[in-house]
Structure 1
Amino acid sequence: MINSQRLAQRFQALVKIDSLSRQERDVAMELEKILTAMGAIVSYDTAGKQVGGNCSNLVAKFKGNVDADPIFLCGHMDTVGPGKGIKVRFEDGIFRSDGTTILGADDKSALAIILEVMDVIFENKIDFPPVEIIFTICEEIGLLGAKHFDYSLIDSKFGYILDSTDTQGIVTKAPAANKITIKIYGKAAHSGAEPENGVNAIMVASKAISKLELGRMDEETTCNLGIIKGGIATNIVPDFVEIRGEARSHSVEKLKRVTDNIVNTFQTAAEKFKGDPDLPRIEAIVQNDFPNTNISEDHKAIKLARKAADNLGIDLASKTIGGGADANIFFGKGIVAGVLGTGMTDVHTLNESIAIKDMEASAKLVLEILKVHAAGEIS
């Protein structure tokens, strides 16, 4: 029932609409037009104003024609750069860009698939539950759309986000993450005339970093320091350094332990350099970036997806990943979101691609999920 030609054409049309983070308005207007023509009630929240964008999260509601709990389908409208003026190439069943930009399958493939599923439902007069479609903004720059989403606009307590690669997998576990900023305050002095009168913030930073274990801590925990900024000239003892990093773990306890260790290591290094009563001084800022996702295998969202996959002859595998997605934010709000794959590969690179057969497979699974849910086969 999936119309491969229509799916391909719509995907190409969507990726040709520029929609870098905070610039999603044009693609949102196109999606609104399509969804309204299908009979959806479309609305927006106010997230765009809160994140400084030109568009907000889009919500489209379909009433359904059976008595069932509402279910949501979600994808994000923004892409990473370089994502302006995308030129699509389609050869041997695979979509690519011309090599000067990303393709935008992350996550335009999700948008096209969700629209195709709804088209098929209406064309074939298939029974379906109440469906709430959520197209978010600014996912690529810190899940900002989901973080500022007005959750009062939806009634669904579970659903699916199409934002992964494997069309035969569902993400059930993803880590929580903390953003960590360390500011080191030292004292400037002439590096040739009176270096002993200065307090070298870079030296403090280097001593602390040398004591840290970075990278993979264990199978469920990682940490990284990714940005260091400090100093203004080679002949001045640097009086300030800022370091930014992160810690991630599937265990909340481990996340706290790793985060505390990073902060304490910098504090200890500063103490060993004390010459001035107040310098060097450490300021540590820790912010939770997103909570973890941990969906039970017996949750309805998982059982429903597995039943649908089984109907299609697919063994749907549970996936544990190391990255965050809108699903993490939803989960933190008490809303369960299983993450499904669309087949996109090499995302965030100029080599990004996606096969139409994988998009078809993803659409078939989502369609079957809605059919199984409408039939009330899973409680």
Structure 2
Amino acid sequence: MQVKRERLADIFTQLCETDSPSRHEGRVAELLKGILTRLGPAEVVEDDSAAVTGADCGNLIFRFDGSLDQEPIFFSCHMDTVEPARGVKVKRSGDLFTSAGETILGSDDKSGLAACIEMMRVLRENDRPHRPLELVITTCEEIGLVGAKALDPQLIQAREGYALDSSGFAKVITHAPALNRLTITVGGVASHAGLHPEWGINAITVAARALAQCPCGRLDEETTVNFGTIRGGVAANIVPEKVVIEGEVRSHSATRLEEVTQEIRTTFETVIAQWQDPTGSAKGCPGVEMEVYQDFPLMALDRESDLLRRVDQAATAVDLEMSYEKAGGGSDANIFTGHGLPTAIIATGMTNVHSTEEQVELDDMVNLTRLLLALATETSC
């Protein structure tokens, strides 16, 4: 089966030059439906997630029946791109693709989408037997995996799959951390800073004492903490009565994630409990509330699973040597895995993503397509 390089280059360019910033993926969705419907899917599903995500289209699922007596698998990509992403023009220098202007390129994740399209085209024109396949294409990944979170997992018939969404090449992500988002609200008492400062309680200084005692940064090989924003107060002459801190805890250990989250909660509560009024004139006491929201669950795949042994087998078939790594960030794969649909992440060749220096090589997209073809057609796993 021969991957057609220039056809792959053309569809990649067309995808990139069809703007699709998060929540505005509708034009790319229509393009994908037009292309993939002509390749004979058994079913095309667009879900009703737009009501939740605010996007101008839903998530897409394309199901292709297979003639091999093998378990179905899915390939997942996302349609949306980060800003600046309007008016994208692709520049090709030899086999290197970059943005021709002041926008991102869009190889995140249109390199994955292009490879999926070329895979199905090659399978069809060669009439090659393959296992049942699903293409699961989400919206709003770049703004918090919002599309995948809104997707009903019962719509996916395959029980495991591969997300084509990582920088680098010949790389498989097998582990990604869970993440707790924290919103910590420290309450004080407002008063005039010049006339009666002793009547007030400065929420900023109380919060600062707690933050100084909290864990932060890389705590161990598995766990990180960051406090990213702090906002509060209304004017320099008013003792601030409220501070809101946004932070996160990430860990590859579910136990450690909860331990560190609780440590932060306890630290704030202890600082509040130990607060003393220096003059005895304060009109109240400080308080704290901490909200914890799990943004995405842990992804941890068994290296001996069929999911990963299938990658080994496919890579051998196309003469690629894959590396297996842990990631520090989350992706749609975390959401699918959390739903009981184990999902490995396969790198697509994209580099310098989320910047105007983004680029990808045609050779990497060709080899990605060859790997997908092998995953679709190999029969041992």
Query: TM bucket by the smaller chain?
Result: over 0.9
Question: Do the aligned residues in 2 keep the contact of 1:19 with 1:79 (CA within 8 Å)?
Answer: yes
Q: Secondary structure at the match of 2:38?
A: helix
Structure 2 equivalent of residue 282 of structure 1: 288
CA contact (8 A) 1:72 1:158 kept: yes
1:1-379 matches, cutoff 5 A: 1-40=2-41, 41-275=43-277, 279-372=285-378, 376-378=379-381
Contact 1:167/1:361 (CA < 8 Å) preserved in 2? Answer: no
Contact 1:46-1:150 within 8 A present in 2 as well: no
What letter matches 1:25 in structure 2? G
1:150 Cα deviation from its structure 2 partner:
1.6
Report the residue type matching 1:22 in the other structure: R
In 1, Cα distance between equivalents of 2:316 and 2:58: 37
Counterpart Cα distance in 1 of 2:317 and 2:71: 21
Q: More deviation in 176-185 or 314-323?
A: 314-323
Shift of 1:145: 1.0
- 2:7 aligned partner, one-letter code: R
The answer to whether the 8 Å contact 2:3/2:370 transfers is yes
Distance 1:377 1:19, change over 3 A: same
| Inter-partner Cα distance in structure 1 for 2:168 and 2:340 | 25
Q: Secondary structure at the match of 1:38?
A: coil
Q: Percent identity?
A: 42
C-alpha distance after superposition, 1:250-303 (max 9, x if no partner)? 001110111111122122222233546852110100011111111101111100
Is there any run of 5+ residues in structure 2 with no aligned partner, and where?
Answer: none
Q: What residue identity is the alignment partner of 1:255?
A: L
CA distance in 2, matches of 1:335, 1:280: 45
| Unaligned ranges ≥5, structure 1 | none
Give, in whole Å, the separation in 2 of the partners of 1:307 and 1:51.
38
Tell me, yes or no, if the aligned pair for 2:199 and 2:283 is still in contact at 8 Å.
Answer: no
Greater mean alpha carbon deviation, residues 273-282 or residues 247-256: 273-282
Q: How far has the Cα of 1:213 moved from its partner?
A: 2.6
Native 8 Å contact 2:185 2:289 kept in 1 = yes
Per the TM alignment, residue 315 of structure 1 is displaced from its structure 2 partner at its CA by: 2.1
TM-score, structure 1 as length reference: 0.97
Contact 2:153 2:336 in 1 (8 A): no
Shift in Å at residue 100 of structure 1? 0.8
Give the total of aligned pairs. Answer: 375
Deviation at 1:66, TM superposition (A): 2.1
CA distance in 1, matches of 2:265, 2:319: 50
Q: Provide the C-alpha distance between the structure 1 equivalents of 2:324 and 2:135, rounded to a whole number of angstroms.
A: 23
User: What does the per-residue CA deviation read over 1:208-248, in whole Å, with 9 as the maximum and x for residues that have no partner?
Assistant: 11112311111111010001111111111011110001000
CA drift of 1:151 comes to: 1.6
C-alpha separation between the residues in 2 aligned to 1:158 and 1:278? 55
Q: What is the deviation of 1:353?
A: 0.7
Asked if 1 retains the 8 angstrom alpha-carbon contact of 2:200 and 2:283, the reply is: no
Alignment partners' CA distance in 2, 1:162 and 1:42: 20
- CA distance in structure 2 between the partners assigned to 1:45 and 1:216 by the alignment: 39
The RMSD of aligned alpha carbons is 1.2
1:361 Cα deviation after fit = 1.1
* Contact 1:171-1:339 at 8 Å conserved across structures: yes
Q: 2-side partners of 1:136 and 1:315: how far apart?
A: 29
Question: Relative to 1, partners in 2 of residues 1:226 and 1:24: Cα closer, same or farther, differing over 3 Å?
Answer: same
